Homo-oligomer: A and B are copies of this chain.
Amino acid sequence: MKRIGKQTLELENECFIIGKSSLVGEKEKNGAFNEYFENYVDDDKMGQKTFEKAERKMLEIITENAIRDANLYKGDIDLYLSGDLTNQIVSSNYVAEILGVPFIGIYSACSTITACLGLATMLIDGGGFNNILCSSISHFSSAERQYRYPLEFGNQRQAYSQWTVTGGGAFVISNKKSNIKITKVCFSKVQDYGVIDIANMGAAMAVAACDTLCSFFDDTNSKPGDYDFIATGDLGKLGSDILRDLMSKKGYDVGQNYSDIGHSIYKFEEESYQGGIGAGCSTCVLATYILDKLKSGVFKKVLIVATGALMSTITNQQGDSIPSIAHLVEIVKC
């Protein structure tokens, strides 16, 4: 790979997405991407005893389907990169055990999938790997009770809150040709906007998305208009409005081709407040809507900037503000 500017990396060898898969819950299926979410579950407990085990089961199915979609067997996967929102990323750890291939766990909150995709493309570009499986998932019920309140408590949600997406996706990145390739990667610096309210994720994360996008445009001497589609992960309505403002102060108009996946994933009547959030939010939409549009040629060149909030319940209880991160990948149709 080759460094452009301070922070952006351009691949020297070609690196393709040869397999993908997603699985979402019923609320997500009924949302704005209804026709794109082919695989969904009615029962978000997946017949398991707990929501945590259900999340794991979903991820197991997702990874198996992605490997099958790539026309590979488990044994063809050289490395598995995955992360999720559970403490110690246990959903990914237990699925890695089932897969039985070398594994590195990534924690980058809701920005996990672009961290994994970025790393995977670099490792494949480096020459030691043929096929790397990347995945990420979140589950409303396991995340909500871990980060905020017990589900049974039924707390009133703030107007600026977002809804954790039940869903996830997986991708097989390979040196084998397909018509979709990853061409540039920009790993994020950690940014802090001083937000301390864990319901207000969009505001906390907008600053990281802005920093990564501006670094990328500066490094590559490009502008938002060069892309058919620019998607941030899960800033929601409020966060994506903040991003537009921040970008405009830096001299960039993200324009009509910009959309936030969290803001778009649910329909207004689904009462998800500012929209969706979660490690699976951008992942499941990238695996469906965005790759579909790339495959059919509607999009030729897109930027995906998944955004993550890097706090824990402990840092929140101890009064720390929320650090945020936003890794970027450039995906093109070839």
Contact = CB atoms under 8 A, between A and B. Distances in A.
Given A106-B104, A127-B1, A310 B12 contact: no
A2 B127 contact: yes
Interface stretch (A30-38, A283-291, A314-322): A314-322
Please tell me how many copies of the chain the complex holds: 2
A102 B188 contact: yes
A40 B249 CA distance: 46
Given A101-B189, A102-B188, A93 B310 contact: yes
Nearest to A78: B3
Interface string A157-201: 000000000000000000000000000000111111000000000
B79 A187 contact: yes
B88 A311 contact: yes
Given A103-B188, A103-B190, A189-B102, A318 B53 contact: yes
A5 to B, nearest CB: 12
Interface residues of A, number: 59
Interface stretch (A17-25, A115-123, A220-228, A297-305): A115-123
A315 B94 contact: yes
A39 interface: no
A39 to B, nearest CB: 25
Q: Is the interface of A mostly helix, strand, loop or mixed?
A: mixed
A190 B90 CA distance: 12
A268 to B, nearest CB: 31
Interface in A188-247: 188-192
A97 interface: yes
B104 A108 contact: yes
Interface string A114-147: 0100010011011111000000000000000010
Contacts of A53: 318
A313 interface: yes
B314 A100 contact: no
A306 to B, nearest CB: 13
Nearest to A318: B50
A272 interface: no
A88 B87 contact: yes
A1 B311 contact: no
Given A107-B89, A126-B123, A128-B9, A191 B97 contact: yes
Contacts of A310: 88, 90, 93-94, 105
Given A96-B323, A187-B104, A90 B311 contact: yes
Interface of A: 1-3, 7, 9, 12, 49-50, 52-53, 78-79, 83, 86-90, 93-94, 96-97, 100-109, 115, 119, 122-123, 125-129, 146, 187-192, 310-315, 318, 320, 323, 325, 327
Given A94-B320, A103-B190, A123-B126, 6 more contacts: A53-B318, A97-B192, A104-B106, A105-B115, A122-B122, A146-B314
27 contacts: A1-B127, A3-B128, A9-B128, A86-B312, A87-B87, A87-B88, A87-B312, A88-B107, A88-B311, A88-B315, A90-B314, A94-B310, A94-B320, A97-B191, A97-B192, A101-B189, A102-B187, A102-B188, A104-B108, A104-B327, A105-B106, A105-B107, A105-B108, A105-B115, A119-B119, A122-B126, A126-B126
